[in-house]
Amino acid sequence: MLQPEPLTNSTSHLPLFRVAESPTRATDAACTFDSVPMYIDRHDAPGVTPEELANAHRLDVAIQDKYGVHYHTYWFDPENGTVFCLAEGPSKQAIETVHRESHGLLASIILELDEFVPLNNFFGSLPNHPVGAAYTAPALRAIVFTDVCGSVAQTQQLGDEGHMQLLREHNEIVRSELVTHDGREIKHTGDGIMAAFTSVVSAVAFAVEVQRRLHERNQKATTPFDVSIGISAGEPVTDDHDDLFGAAVQLAARLCAAASSGDIAVSVAVRELCIGKPFRFDDHGELMLKGMSEPTQTYAVSWRE
């Protein structure tokens, strides 16, 4: 299934992706792929053990060269039996053929990654283990959007430079809290920031601290401003979306758009993954979010002390 090798240009086996950095910020780094397409696939294998996966990986690696495929790493969540393999190869068919010939455990979905996907920003550190070593590494990530509320009115009232000053303050607070809570900036959206967290609990703690810092700032500022935040949690590949973390990204963006000024709107999954943690969630009922075919149950994190 997977070659647990760090994705750097020091690897001699095949040309891998390179990290292209913006001249202004390292957080704008994106993964681009040299020559060979990169894929991530999904296996639903309830009951599989880490040892069985490690053996399947060993069998994949043994024949991957035959088809010009190179398995880099995989993620495995034993609680729900999901496995996600990261590989490069000439085609989806080649990726599937290695699985079929080596052990027969085929993926339900194989997703070709966009050449500019910020892979490391989404996932953080990639699993890196010797071939055949048994391990677990869940792929679920929290996706967060922030948005400065009332940007159009701010621009009309304060002018472009006045609005940009508020945005710079937002950026400083959000980015400093990302560092504190081990979050990773995916991109700047214009009036906010999209980020990913390996820990859902850390994502919620991040959002709470951002709102508290903004509240403290507004108590002393001549020009207060508010930020809405949306948080979802999801896996990298799902049946209903063709982009990496596409379903989770879409839901987090819609939650952010639906949140009131100064609120933190979260999904059911986020609330459930924070059970037993020192957060309080208020039930905001089912909302019809833009782009969703059915009402979505939402919650708000109570952050005001």
pLDDT, tens only, 69-97: 999 999 999 999 999 999 999 999 999 99
State the average pLDDT over residues 108-125.
94
Q: What are 294's two structure tokens?
A: 């059915």
C-alpha distance from residue 83 to each of 89, 129, 137, 175, 257 (Å): 19, 15, 9, 31, 32
The CATH number assigned to the domain holding 48 equals 3.30.70.3090
What CA–CA distance (Å, rounded) separates 158 from 169? 15
Please give the order of strands across the beta sheet that includes 82-88.
70-77, 82-88, 38-44, 109-112
Q: Pick the residue with more confidence: 151 or 256?
A: 256
User: Is 1 a domain residue?
Assistant: no
State the average pLDDT over residues 290-298.
88
**Residues 110 and 235 placed together within one structural domain of the fold:** no
For the chain, what is the domain count?
2
Q: What are 291's two structure tokens?
A: 């782009």
**Residues 298 and 184 placed together within one structural domain of the fold:** yes
When computed from its CA atoms, the radius of gyration of the chain, rounded to whole angstroms, is 21
At 11, is the pLDDT very low, low, confident or very high (cuts 50, 70, 90)?
Answer: very low
User: What's the pLDDT at 101?
Assistant: 97
User: Is 254 a domain residue?
Assistant: yes
Q: What is the mean pLDDT of the chain?
A: 88
What CA–CA distance (Å, rounded) separates 282 from 181? 23
What CA–CA distance (Å, rounded) separates 165 from 158? 10
